[in-house]
Structure 1
């Protein structure tokens, strides 16, 4: 054991002797000759990248020697990039120390730089080695160094921090020279100085992590734009704008310019901020190259936002996928592009093919800017336009790809956006969606089958037949006095997941004159909203057609929108705009401007009782449901809309507001055609010149309120309330007055009977009841003529019964 330890001691002593140079400093004559000694510097390494800080500073380089004279110094020429300089080399004495245990080495090493004290006096431990079981045949070493040093003062010992690769290189050479002789030497041509203190934190961040981080910053506006576009589509705001005259072309120009200006300002602020805080990524590279690169990409990004929005109908889904795309594509691009470029094995032309993906082209451009920022520490200059001619520079290819993609995707995005907008559900995009969802085993009922089911029922309704004949005559003669003509309009919603098809509208034919208000009544699910939705372009008819001011809803919706006003069933409003701003916006779309616009807005607000109380200048999100409804009605009436659709306009209104609304509608219908759906019989009788009742998608009757009451209401309604034990006597009384009377209601002594008008006289009824009251206690009674509500109930129940029987 003693012999083994003695052998190890002699081996280590030889290594330590070979670790330090014995030749004078004068032998160091150039940059190459100083690559093998153990070098150091008093700079803590925060001024350059992976280049030794002392090479590019005005401070000397130190060589660690076992014995130095105070005057030992030499000047050697060095070249870094295009820079030639003279560098002073000084000697620093190093003291080799022996410790018997690894624990002692570790403790002394980590006492802290410039804090260690030994028996020999102040000792700064630059490097420690644990040779473990090393001998002449086996070299096993553990290097220890202090990684916690952060003191940047330049006092006391000037040697500073040693770089770990140089230290390992030096001890490895010392071992080789012990084993093989002094002439043997191992030189490391290139080593990254790791670990070492961070050098130019900003440069490292911007050049290494920077491309990925900057990519996320640049594309952060993409989800914002997609969300904004899908929000307007989900809430039908885009449709509302189209229905009030804003075509796809102007819509695209307005929003494209808005996104472009916003994105340009965003990128300019981003670059300026980066330059102000000293990020070489921005400060060193040519600003004109950066502007062209970022400006080209934000144009492509805007087009991609329009294209992506065509495939989404829900904001939450679009937002989630957009964020997944930008972060996921950034990570993938950061890994693939960097590895492919720096690996050198992936063909250059395939890298160019990958850059067709926008995220990859963006990362490649940012990567090139980052690499030139790194190289600027040696060359002093970043990327210039002349550098784009370098075949290793990928920026030129990136710019070409981005611009070409923008030019190609621009018309494609416009087409898909136009095809996905209102009234174009037969577009290739919708066709693809339908094919993907289509169940080939399910049977679809055809339009002819619908017609066959409806013929027998409709043939019994003379008023419906007359209306259809009027429609045929108008279409043949092309009469100009009709604002809306519906020709056998049908709508089928195909069932999903095995559910049957839903026939929403079954062959509706109507003709509506200017100055006329047509009311559509029907129970929930009767098809009223589906019928209106087809006329305003929300949905495409399954078959049939309608003509609004002579234009077909199948092909000419863009022309119809210019003369149409709509109050939809659900309020389509911007939450952050005020009521006045809504009317100003839609008023401008209708051609108003200046004082004419202000007058029209005030008049619209006054007509729906929203002009006072601060309501005009309050954001819509602070409106009550009734206020929103009144604002929607005002929007539909502003301007010179010749055809106005109102889907249950008075829903949620108090009686006073309802009366005010009715007055506005009466005044507006003087020179317009209005189609109105409602559940209020009072509203229907007050506003509508004609009424039609829909049940299960079919028209059951049509005519003026008086005509319908006369046709379906040829009876009186006798209501009498007595004690329950007198119910039979009441019934006997009614049978005596009218043998054909029909009981329609009976509950806890209250009975209601329908008496045919031709069977009774009102005087006879009063006399019979007065005589009856002398024998039986009558708590209440009444005789009423038929109301529109009675007609509605009778027609609806009759149609439903016929449907069940068929």
Structure 2
């Protein structure tokens, strides 16, 4: 803070002759406006009192929103001749008109010997704004002219003057401006006119500013009562910075002088000057404790949360609550102990603040005893009062300040008090329905209470003994356990099993009927009855467990159940059950897998399965023939593994019959060597790999969410484009039509929140590879890469977590120039190799031109890169309906045809004469009936080069007159007519249906990684990918 701008201005007094500096003088006369506040001013200068003159282009005139007939025509604004308007009213119109007539002189009278005094006797104003202090009046220090308000201006309204303030000489020009006094019937009319003259007070956004207004009320020859209106917005009172001075005194003096002259001609109340208070030299300093205190206190207080989190994780790891339940304790003791522990830690934590704060006199820290003050808002209120106290030499926040209207601390206290209890109840509720060691239903609190209330001890509801039968129900607050020990006389369970045996159904997964197991006598010991007539029926989804002492027969029963499963697939007899599974033959292993599948059917397999896994081992030279054979069985087959002649494929079960696979293998054996092969169902290991791969992506999403999501606008004139760093997305583009009406021509949502988990890719940057990659796989430099398939078996726009679904870093932003977003894509993201640093810059170029520059640099591995901007346009306005009437000319004479899954076939085909031919302008909907689903195809652009920009397309909409022209340096453009949009609720609640917008996505060719004849999109380490687009918008 010691720079020249924050110190008093100085000048050097030179010696006569050699010109050396003899003396340095400092003072406000040598200072700029920003330096003057630092200078010592023992005798502040006197300044003539001035009026605040409205800017010429905003002076009140007759417009659509301001229709008073006595106002001047709005054409005076362009000529700069509009008068300044003074409104007046009162009980006596004659008196009011007489007073306002005396306010403004007919001529300007200047005394050359007392220029400043002459300015005080005339009615002088300025359009320069004031500052918080008046040591130097900006009206005299700036090059702006002064204005003499007169009842009528002469033909030569320009008067130059020279004046001297202290040792500073100034040259100014005084321009004449006419003062127009207009009568209004009452104060309500004045209020209405002033309100409508405010920019936000009318629908047109027009400004009609007056000089001042007077209500003389009941003034007469004996009384003088007047109310004065003035523009308080010039004071810039935002509640945070110092308030600027208002030029109100001269307006009051005009009314007083006019009344005196009315009472006695020639009488006046002179207002000679305005003057600041003397001051010593000041140094600008910053109270860092007030500015950063809020942030530091928040950081320190937040350190409590890792402690609480550690305790919760420790409980989960050590299963403390389950151990407590095993010892007969419920949730009450755990909650009580945990709450008291955390409360004690918090109190000690805050007491440290109070003790150390009290030592240095920071009594405000006593308030920190209340836990809710960890919130930023409470600390922010403290920071505001501390800053105010530092600047004005006052005290900080006091208890009495809680009643101030601008103080939000009272609301914070009330909110946090209720929040304390609400969160406590919600935490307990969530704990009860998602609990360690048991859970209740969501509406457990509505259940009728038991006759015997739950306690920490086990409540035995009923116990009956009848021979060897024992039936016990154990009930706890959140655990219900049924324990059954039965023999053949246990009628209910045996009856249920016998009924199921006689009437087979799929209602139960496991049925055991009258199981018995007797171990024979051995070594002189008698026979051992391990299981005696055991009956059991378990339904799907039921969690079954067995409790009992040693020797009760638990393990014996499980062995018997497994034995039956192995017998059902002939894996038990002949000593097979005693062999290690690893020593089984291939066929025996497959039969073992069948047995395991009969025992359990995990839901994960049902969700991620639905596939056969086909594996074949051959020589390296015949790998391509194996792949061709599998593709012949199913075009949707996906290669998941390949190394040294061993290849694995996933084949959808609906695409192939097992008999066809056997026949294909038999045929293949006659063509090339087959060392081994197998066909199996999806196993849990395959499921785990898929789930783990997706889980890795989720972790990185959470890391990126640390970057704050915001909205960033680029605006020049009436052209405004907004973006968000979530997906580097274009949110809106607002520009006028041929009639000057502004509309948003980009489809999307009202806020960045709408774009999260969106599948339409509205306005986003898509990548690492835009469009589709067939079978979500490719080979690069001898390595096979399996990507995340998010479009059936294919990858679309970079996978589930492509560049459109991450938070980008905002590198730089200037509202009138550009905004740049960057993103670091990690190695293995969605299956792609190598790290890539990506940046996207949106920039305003000339008038109504938007440039887009996408760059990517491979850091450590070769990788495919093909970025695209996926904006949906509708030149009639985002809510104007379909785009069939848009005229399109697209400068591409060929396309890359696709199959049923929209994957390029590898051909490059001419479009001449087909519905895809837009070489000559025509309406998009003109040949729509010839296409089954609309346009979604990549055009091969004519004459493109990465070294310069080439024109891509021209789109025009006749009703609005808007036209879009597009240039790029890419070889292709995907034209998409939003065929699969469905019904998406977008901006303002408008529902976007199919064909509500069109997309022109300049790009490399889709699936080029799998088509060597297409232009390569492979980026090597150190190389930089550059993709440029330029939009130009006009309206005719």
TM-score (norm 2): 0.23
More strand by share: 2
| Greater RCO (CA < 8 Å, at least 6 residues apart) | 1
Looking at CA atoms only, which structure, 1 or 2, has the larger radius of gyration?
Answer: 1
TM-score (norm 1): 0.29
